Amino acid sequence: MPIRGPVGARTGNIARMPSDAPTDAPATDYRNLLQLEQAQLVAELSELGFDDGKTGLDYDANFADTSQVTAERGEAEALAGKLKDTLEEVHAAIGRLDSGTYGTCEACGVAINPARLEAMPASRFCIDHANRS
């Protein structure tokens, strides 16, 4: 029977926590959740023109309203910055999965609730410490 949870013995890509009681529910594949989120972030960055080292979409130099172009470029750069930060968090979470520390609160060392990890797979903190930052 699979055991649900973020830390502990691992089988394949599924992190398991030995302290959770066995259930009939399937174990959550956190690696898959993180990889899906990673793919979505990369796709969004690509749509904004920030893939492969690019610095954004190209705008027509002859466009009449340069202030609108400037505003749109600024919005795209701000959004791309947030997406890149989130992508870094996802990469770090995958690293924690690989090292066996995934699902442990970085502040107190307590296991992060599996429901929180399902909703936010790159979470670094338990709900108590997430609310403090």
Q: What is the pTM of this model?
A: 0.70
User: Please, which pLDDT band fits residue 107 given cuts at 50, 70 and 90?
Assistant: very high
Q: What are φ and ψ of residue 25, in 5° steps?
A: -75, 145
Q: How far is CA 60 from CA 12, 37, 67, 76, in A?
A: 49, 32, 13, 16
pLDDT for res 50: 81
Q: How far is CA 119 from CA 45, 52, 112, 115, 123, in A?
A: 22, 29, 12, 6, 9
CATH of 10-130, one of 3.30.1370.100, 1.20.120.910, 1.20.140.10, 1.10.10.10: 1.20.120.910
- Rounded distance, CA 116 to CA 125, Å? 10
* pLDDT of 35 strictly over 80: yes
| Rounded CA Rg of the chain | 19
